Structure 1
Amino acid sequence: MTRDITIGQFLPGHSIMHRLDPRTKIVLTFFFIIQVFISRSAASLCFLIVLLGFLIASSQVPAGKVLKGVRPMIPVIVFTALLNIFYVSGEPVFTFFFLQITKQGLFTGFTLLVRLTALIAGCSLITYTTSLNALAAGLEQLLAPLRRIHFPVSELSMTISITLRFLPTLAEEFDRIIDAQKARGAEFNSGNPIKKIKSYFPVLLPLFMSAFRRAFELTNAIECRCYQGGKGRTKMNVLKLAPRDFCAIAFFVITFFLTIAFNYYFPAPY
């Protein structure tokens, strides 16, 4: 399952999304997140799916790769949708003892299923099409005004980029530890759910030890290079907005207002 974690992976390319300024992609990602949360009607959800398909096509990232990144979150998505199906009150469709399924619950559960899937798939495109160095540089420049209040902008952007960089590494380390434990006779897929969860406890200690070891090695490397944050540092590649960035922002502003219009003119049935 951890092999499906795609957060932090960068796929080099020459698509439109690859050539956008990282600051633009960060802003557009926030626009997309807002659109996901305000999409409440069937029409706006359909428009959200079309928009997501257009973004995947423009990024030239294989759709299977994007959906593969959603796979680890399927249990959470399904569990959240089921909670809304059984606990949203309204016109009953099916009743079994204390459990009741309503039309409003079914629509709310389906809405959450689509929105959460689109949210994870859409947000993963920014790491697929942006290197971590470019992402950190874009985030640092977006937060640059906070330096006036002595906010550690450079340190924050570096911390976020390092976190994203080490997520796939920790996932690979987790798989290696699992394989090593299986070679010693450990079983992870037998017994009841509680036993399965307990079987992973011996994996956590070496995983945490490996994470701490990597953290100490990284700290020593940063100190040996006399890293002092962003004070007095210059950039080899200066970020500049191009006409395509303004076109992308204008496109997302239009889609944002279209989503609001779909919600207003084609409201949710419940």
Structure 2
Amino acid sequence: MPRDITVGQFLPGHSIMHRLDPRTKIVLTFFFIIQVFISKSAISLSFLIALLGVFIACSQVSPGKVFKGVRPMIPVIIFTAVLNIFYGSGDPVLSFSIFHITKQGLFTGFTLMVRLTALIAGCSLITYTTSLNTLAAGLEQLLSPFKRFHLKVGELSMTIAITLRFLPTLADEFDRIIDAQKARGAEFGSGNFIKRIKSYFPVILPLFMSAFRRAFELTNAIECRCYRGGEGRTKMSVLRLSKTDVGAILLFLLAFSLTIIFNVLFPFQY
């Protein structure tokens, strides 16, 4: 399962999505998250899926790679969807004991599953098509107005970038510890649910020790380079919006507006 964690991985390329300014991609991702949660009707959900397909095509990242990052979250998505099936009132479909399944609950569970899948797949595209240094620079530029409120924008953007960078690294470290434990005769994934959970306890301590060791090494490397935040630092490459960025923002605003129109004109009828 940790091998499926793809958040934080950068796939170099020359696609339209790769060439966009990181600030544009951050803004588009933010509004895409909003669009995911305001898509309520069947038409707007279908449009959301089509829009996600356009994003994947523009990024030139294989759909299998994109949805590979969704796999670790499938149990959470299914569990959340099942809970919503039993929540709410409406036309009954099936009843047993204190549980009642309704048409409205089935639709709510299905739409939530689609939303969460689209959310994870869509948000992963920004790390696939943006290097972490560029992403940190874009975050710093977008958050720069908050400097007047004494927010340490440079440190915050760098912290977010480092966090994303170390997610796949910790996943690889988890796999190495598992392989080392198996070589010593440990068994994982056998027995009942409780035994499976307990079998991973010997992995947690080495993983935390490795994470702390990497954190100390990174801290020493930063201090040796005399990093003192973003104040007074110059940029090797200055970010500038191009016509492609403006066009992408305008097209997405059009798609965002269409989602709102679809929700109003074609509400779902149970």
TM-score, normalised to structure 1, is 0.99
Q: d(CA) in 1 for partners of 2:197 and 2:265?
A: 48
Displacement of 1:38: 0.1
Deviation of 1:97 after TM superposition, in Å, equals 1.8
Which residue of the partner structure matches residue 94 of structure 2? 94
Distance 1:239 1:57 in 2: 25
How far did residue 145 of structure 1 move?
Answer: 0.9
Q: Deviations over 1:202-235 (max 9, x none)?
A: 1100000000000000000001111010111000
Match of 2:179 in 1: 179
List per-residue Cα deviations over 1:14-72 (Å, max 9, x = no partner).
Answer: 11110000000000000100100000100000000000000000110001100111111
**Residue in 1 aligned with 2:36?**
36
Percent identity among equivalent residues?
Answer: 79
Q: Which runs of 5+ in 2 are unaligned?
A: none
For residues 162-221 of structure 1, the C-alpha deviation after alignment (integer angstroms, 9 at most, x for no partner) is: 001100000000011111111111112112111111111111000000000000000000
1:134, distance to aligned residue in structure 2 (A): 0.4
- Separation of aligned partners in 2, 1:2 and 1:196: 16
Instruction: State the distance in 1 between where 2:105 and 2:195 align.
Output: 33
Residue 195 of structure 2: aligned partner: 195
Segments of 4+ in structure 1 off by > 4 A? none
What are the Cα deviations for residues 225-266 of structure 1, in whole angstroms up to 9, with x where unaligned? 110101110001000000110100001110111000010011
1:206-221 maps to which residues of 2 (within 5 A)? 206-221=206-221
Query: Partners in 2 of 1:192 and 1:87 — Cα distance?
Result: 29
Greater shift, 209-218 or 179-188, is seen at: 179-188
Residue in 2 that maps onto 1:251: 251
Tell me the distance in 2 between the aligned counterparts of 1:79 and 1:131. Answer: 33
The answer to whether the aligner puts 1:160 opposite 2:154 as a matched pair is no
TM-score by length of 2: 0.99
Residue 135 (1) aligns with residue 130 (2)? no
Residues matched between the structures, number = 270
1:7 CA drift (Å): 0.3
C-alpha displacement of 1:148: 1.2
**Aligned positions of 1:221-240 closer than 5 A:** 221-240=221-240
- Residue 99 of structure 1: how far off its partner (Å): 2.0
The 5-angstrom pairing of residues 22-171 of structure 1 reads 22-171=22-171
State the AA in 2 paired with 1:264. Answer: V
Alignment partners' CA distance in 2, 1:101 and 1:22: 44
